[in-house]
Chain A
Amino acid sequence: MKKCDIIISGVGGQGIVLASRLIATMALRKGYKISTAETIGMSQRGGSVVSNLRLDSYRKGSLIPKGQANVIIGFEPAEAYRYNEYLNKDAKVLLNSNPIYSSSKTPENEIYSKKEVIKIMELFDKNNTLTSCNFNKMALEFGNLKTMNIMMIAIACFNNYLPFSVNELNNTIKEEMPSKIKDINLKAVEFAINNFEKYANINSNNVIKI
């Protein structure tokens, strides 16, 4: 099996850890060897959160070296760009274009704005394969912001960014998730795949809009 090094990054509270566990579960079912590293501990609410997820046919250390990641699932533009140097040149980028601003009193936080978000998208678009949508909007219109992470995984599978089909994702949800949340997650997957183009930030003429 081909190795797949995945970075999932975002802001504390977005469901990154759960997303990484779901992908790990899919990989387990396929017989991959798995190593993951997560940042948890010192007050991660609203802090930068990153999960390294490594799928391979043999065991590895859990931290992805620079230039090795095949995929990044970025829940927030700046948090995706933070790990830019970890991506290899063929890396695929799935981006949630909805920025989350930080309130710590620093000059950077006053500068980080939509302008920076557009710059980040342009760079990813130029250097990598990029799919960028406003997943916050998508999840809100679906009716539950908490489904954002499952929607991102669904699009990652649908666009062949991850070595799993949408079918495999649905089966994992059916067989591994608590029954209370199965249905809503299955519906969220369907909603994301049917509607994601509506929320995409880059149109066919390559014009970026947020």
Chain B
Amino acid sequence: MGNEAIALGAIHSNLSVATGYAGTPSTEVMETIIKEVNRMDKINNDNTNDNNNDTTIYVEWSTNEKVALENAIGASYSGANTIVTMKQVGLNVASDPLMSLTYLGTNGALVIVVTDDPTPHSSQTEQDTRHYGSFANVPVFDPCDAQEAYDLTKYAYEISGKYKTPVILRSTTRLSHGYNDVIIDKVTDNEVIERLKTEKSNIGFIKDPKWAIMPKLVSKNHPILEEKQLKIAEDFSNSNFNNITIFNNKNTDNKNNKKNLGIITSGVSYYYTLEALNILKEDKTNDEFQNFLDNYNIEILKISTPYPFPESKVLDFIKNNKKDILVTVEELDSVLEDNTLKLIGKYNSTINNTNNNNLNNIKFYGKYNLFPKCGEYNVDIVKTLLNKIINEDIEFECNNNNNNNNNNNNNNNNYNNYNKNKMGNGENTEQEITLPVRLPTLCAGCMHRIAFYAFKKVAKEFKKQNIETIFSGDIGCYTLGATPPLSATDTCLCMGAGISLATGLSRVNSNTKNIAFIGDSTFFHSGIPAVVNAVYNEADVTIVVLDNETTAMTGHQPHPGTGQKARGNAKVIDIEKVLKSCNVENVQTIDISKFANIEQEEVFNNILKECKSSMEYKGVSAIIFKGDCVTKKIPNSKKSKAKNLKVVIDENLCNSCKLCINEIGCPALRYDSLNNSIELLDSCTNCGLCINICPKGALSKKLVF
């Protein structure tokens, strides 16, 4: 896996400190480091579970990305080699220390692994981390497969150490979650441990005014920082990671008569480009392309270090076999494209125009006239557009809007025909097949569903008094509370925003109730300042903490409320106590373990009562729903005697009114149109929530042996 390769690359570069906050698709980098440390610790016969001794890498799931980066910076100042892992939106949170850090530089190597998510598959944004490179003057590395991820990680450590600068290793979902065969260095565990010992014996913080940022220091350091970028760019130009692939055979005829096409690309787009060209080449019916191959040399330049841009390398590429056509192929933003165009402009404006060395009259294709700016690329998209270039059937409109709209439609039609039931390739259309739609949804038996349903029910009561309830959500599994039929999320923006949004909404929407849902991990990540703000400024909101005692969405990482760390145990920080110490006076905890008798009317009504009183309270109130995540392995000791109690449907009582399905959207309930009946699927966890809904009493728990 790409993420595993990055982790091993770091461990093989004498890593001593690793911090991060979980976020798809970055999470496995840290998880791999933790796994390796645990494994080596056993070899070392050092089962003290000591997370910071001479022979182990210190690993930490931090409370948020800013904190993670600052921890690593402290270690780096002292000479330790460090890694910080996060997803792209995490870097927004950590950008404050990053922007300042570059002026001061580092001591030990500091590699920030940031994963982008074109499409996006599981993110709030499609932002392109490469921009942080030029924004913060931080070198960026951008690998194309797991092998290069390993090699480039090692190179990133080298550059970071050599130039005393933080660096960003940028990945995308396809790389992070893709697998390749990877050749890694032969480094034995003992070697890793020995190196670490040596490394750690040299670590120590040396006091120096250079570590304290001051305006005067910044103005002194800024020119040095800019100078550094030029040197690194030169290093990158000489690096083999930025390399040229000759696509078509030059031995066919005298290449001097041929024209030249150059493609500049990076990351996974490099492989899409290669394969697209190969497919076009093998298609003997494509006369235009066969013709093109006879008349053109095709060369591909892969850029693995987008910032600082390796200008000399790119310039040589354009000038050698002087390119008649240039194409940039890259996902997300036009980073390679803008830098290439800038380079050509700079070059043309500095040379003496009387000689014929200028780079005018190059046909240039990029995002401004052809390639999509949004979404993930694939071979089919690249192939279609390259074919278009070759056929020269592009109308050169610099009217971007038109073009980009077309491109994005194009893009959307090209893949993910997920919700279309038509055949994509035009064959076999004699029969329409209806395929099921599998939307992401809260798991069957998820404790969050109970909270959402309870608040929705109470909100209906307020509605009768003409009081509207606005639900603000947050980032985590419970974001899925937005999907119908629950539809219990009216706003959702970024980590920790739910509480502040609810507060803001309450200021200008009189006669409304404002509820903010926040998960346990998100609460610690960035929820607490919003709580303090709401209380101190006397807002009237209800905070609902959905505490399933884990960071569930990303695969169960620990947080300060779990009693676990990346390695070993710790003392729990109690959310209820935190809320109370922030002067939230009305705090209640509802314990919904998986085995609560939620199917009993009295139990469920009590929950509704507590939700209602919480909403009626003038001021900041909080309810903590505490329970287990159904995907977490629960120790057997917790298994209750109720395990033989199963939810069953009495078919004689059920009249298929679908109320159970339409109210809570539990994936274990399905309407079978063939038999006009409701069926209970295997995924049912027997939580019993649906029993509260059925007006006919057709749902109940029965002892099953």
Contact = CB atoms under 8 A, between A and B. Distances in A.
Given A34-B181, A103-B661, A123-B428, A46 B667 contact: yes
B673 A65 contact: no
Contacts of B674: 113-115
Nearest to B178: A62
A82 B668 contact: no
B428 A127 contact: yes
Given A66-B380, A81-B433, A85-B425, A59 B145 contact: yes
Contacts of A101: 436, 670, 672, 681
Interface string A52-63: 000000011111
A40 B671 CA distance: 28
A113 B379 CA distance: 34
Nearest to B443: A45
Interface in A78-93: 78, 81-82, 84-85
Contact of B433 (A38, A66, A116): A116
B379 A61 contact: yes
B666 to A, nearest CB: 7
Interface stretch (B104-112, B267-275, B389-397, B595-603): B267-275
A43 B441 contact: yes
B670 A102 contact: yes
A103 B665 contact: yes
A66 B424 contact: yes
Given A40-B177, A65-B380, A103-B667, A108 B437 contact: yes
Nearest to A107: B434
A111 interface: yes
A105 B553 CA distance: 23
A62 to B, nearest CB: 4
B508 interface: no
B443 A104 contact: no
B438 A61 contact: no
B348 to A, nearest CB: 34
A119 B431 CA distance: 8
B121 interface: yes
A119 B424 CA distance: 17
A60 B271 contact: yes
B122 A37 contact: no
Contacts of B439: 47, 102, 104, 106
A42 B440 contact: yes
Which of the four size classes fits the interface of chain A?
35 or more
Contact of A61 (B24, B272, B669): B272
A81 B435 CA distance: 8
Contacts of B53: none
Contacts of A34: 179-181
Contacts of A112: 434-436
Interface in B662-705: 662, 665-674, 681, 683
B669 A109 contact: no
A41 interface: yes
A184 interface: no
B379 A28 contact: no
B122 A65 contact: no
Given A42-B122, A45-B631, A62-B174, A78 B435 contact: yes
A159 interface: no
B418 interface: yes
A18 B179 CA distance: 13
Contacts of A143: none
Given A41-B122, A42-B122, A113-B672, A103 B681 contact: yes
A103 B434 contact: no
Contacts of B276: 65
B378 interface: yes
Contact of B435 (A46, A67, A108, A122): A108
A127 B122 CA distance: 35
B673 A113 contact: yes
B345 interface: no
A39 interface: yes
B670 to A, nearest CB: 4
Interface in A5-55: 11, 21, 24, 28, 32-48
Given A43-B553, A46-B683, A48-B418, 5 more contacts: A37-B177, A41-B121, A101-B436, A104-B437, A113-B672
15 contacts: A11-B438, A21-B179, A40-B25, A42-B24, A42-B121, A61-B272, A63-B272, A82-B435, A103-B665, A104-B437, A104-B439, A108-B436, A108-B437, A119-B431, A120-B433
Interface of A: 11, 21, 24, 28, 32-48, 59-63, 65-67, 78, 81-82, 84-85, 101-106, 108-116, 119-120, 122-123, 126-127
